[in-house]
Amino acid sequence: METVKVETKDRSYDVVVGPGALNGLEGLVADADRVAVIADKKVAGLHGGRLRAVLDEAGVDAAWMDVPSGESCKTLEWFGRTQQFLLDAGCTRKSVMIAFGGGACGDLAGYAAAAYMRGIRFVQCPTTILAHDSSVGGKTAINLPGGKNMTGAFHQPIGVLYDTDLLRTLPDVEVRSGMAEAVKHVLISSKKDALGLLHTMELAEMGEEELIRLIVRGIRVKADIVGRDEREGSVRKYLNFGHTYGHAVEAAAGYGGITHGEAVMTGMIYALILSERITGAGRELTDALQAFAEKNGYPLKEISSHPFDGLLGYMKKDKKASFGDLHFVLLPEAGAPEVRRVSEGDCKAADREYRIRTGVEPE
């Protein structure tokens, strides 16, 4: 079992990672007058019995609400339903809510906890690899038709219990999605390890020990950044590497049409091409990431259905944009991220180059 401490101005909490981590739930809900669970419907079917057993053993009679799997739960309609659920369940400011599912469920449930009675405590119990990123750091949000994660709040959990026993039922597409964020954490934090990881890691051959090691490494990178910049005023923006273009692809495909991690992988390759163009970075890291993505089945040609002008419209709605300017996290080299203002012309040129390199369009 590994424990990573997250320390912010408002709250300090532990992220516990390993088999059986859910057993730590009793201590987090011991003083709650009511406990409510918001769970991904599919996860509840697979692992709900495990969570119920832990709660029963702790003598907790929890209210329970299932929500649709994936991004389809991150809507204004489902957000409203969570608020009514918490009210009907008799939750107060002394209550604790549990988010049980992947990143989308955690985003919705965290925002529900942030908004209900202007903020109640909640625990993140992530069940996907992708959620090792989203469950840590207190960002919560839902989508709007015109953009991803456009309405939300910063609301830190009181604890994160990452029970790796629950990852064994993940399909390959979810492993791919989650590992994109794990790769991102290495790229933005380590010049020494980035190329070696990309050249050697094969998702199909990865064992549980290596998986846990990469998850914990990613959590440590994020915990360090969040501790220095909780509200994304400076270095926390680096965690958005690959997300500006990636979110645009995800939105254009229709939420759920491509997984978040697959979209971020596309966005990271695009951002590295931009880095070549804007900062003079070499191609070695870009080529290594593209080769890694192709070897491990990432759908890099998904953008073939989405012209640049449509993607640009989504990028202009990105939360890093200001006064009509586009801002991207770039990598002059691995481990040295920086935020740069980028022109529409450079964005279009990088999009064209991405399409050529991935075989979407001819030279």
Work out the burial of residue 297: count CB atoms within 10 Å of its CB; fewer than 13 is exposed, 13-18 middle, 19 or more buried: middle
Question: Which string of DSSP letters, residue by residue, matches 278-336?
Answer: HH---SHHHHHHHHHHHHTT--GGGGGGS-HHHHHHHHTTSTT-BTTBEEEEE-SSTT-
Per the annotation, the verdict on 217 as an active-site residue is no
358 marked as part of a ligand binding site: no
164 marked as part of a ligand binding site: no
Q: Are 121 and 96 contacting, i.e. CB atoms less than 8 angstroms apart?
A: yes
What is the rounded CA–CA span in Å between residue 122 and residue 295? 39
Catalytic-labelled residue, pool 181, 262, 302, 353: 181
106 marked as part of a ligand binding site: yes
12 marked as part of a ligand binding site: no
Catalytic-labelled residue, pool 236, 237, 319, 355: 236
Per the annotation, the verdict on 301 as an active-site residue is no
Per the annotation, the verdict on 277 as an active-site residue is no
Catalytic-labelled residue, pool 47, 139, 184, 237: 139
Per the annotation, the verdict on 247 as an active-site residue is yes
Catalytic-labelled residue, pool 174, 232, 250, 262: 232
What is the rounded CA–CA span in Å between residue 46 and residue 168? 11
What is the rounded CA–CA span in Å between residue 129 and residue 118? 30
Catalytic-labelled residue, pool 185, 260, 319, 327: 260
Per the annotation, the verdict on 139 as an active-site residue is yes
90 marked as part of a ligand binding site: no
320 marked as part of a ligand binding site: no
Report the DSSP pairing between strands 159-163 and 12-18: parallel
Per the annotation, the verdict on 294 as an active-site residue is no
104 marked as part of a ligand binding site: yes
Per the annotation, the verdict on 192 as an active-site residue is no
169 marked as part of a ligand binding site: no
Catalytic-labelled residue, pool 143, 149, 240, 296: 240
295 marked as part of a ligand binding site: no
322 marked as part of a ligand binding site: no
163-197 burial, b for 16+ CB within 10 Å, e for fewer?
bbebbeebeeebbbbbbbbbbbbbbbbbeeebbeb
Catalytic-labelled residue, pool 155, 247, 319, 355: 247
Per the annotation, the verdict on 222 as an active-site residue is yes
151 marked as part of a ligand binding site: no
210 marked as part of a ligand binding site: no
What is the rounded CA–CA span in Å between residue 135 and residue 207? 23
70 marked as part of a ligand binding site: yes
Per the annotation, the verdict on 260 as an active-site residue is yes
181 marked as part of a ligand binding site: yes
Torsion over CA: 27, 28, 30, 35 (sign):
negative
Catalytic-labelled residue, pool 9, 77, 118, 209: 118
59 marked as part of a ligand binding site: no
Per the annotation, the verdict on 132 as an active-site residue is no
Catalytic-labelled residue, pool 243, 319, 327, 355: 243
Cβ neighbors of 10 (< 8 A, separation 6 or more) are 156, 230
Binding residues for Zn(2+): 181, 243, 260
Binding residues for NAD(+): 69-74, 103-107, 127-128, 139, 148
Binding residues: 69-74, 103-107, 127-128, 139, 148, 181, 243, 260
Question: What residues are labeled active site?
Answer: 118, 139, 181, 222, 232, 236, 240, 243, 247, 260
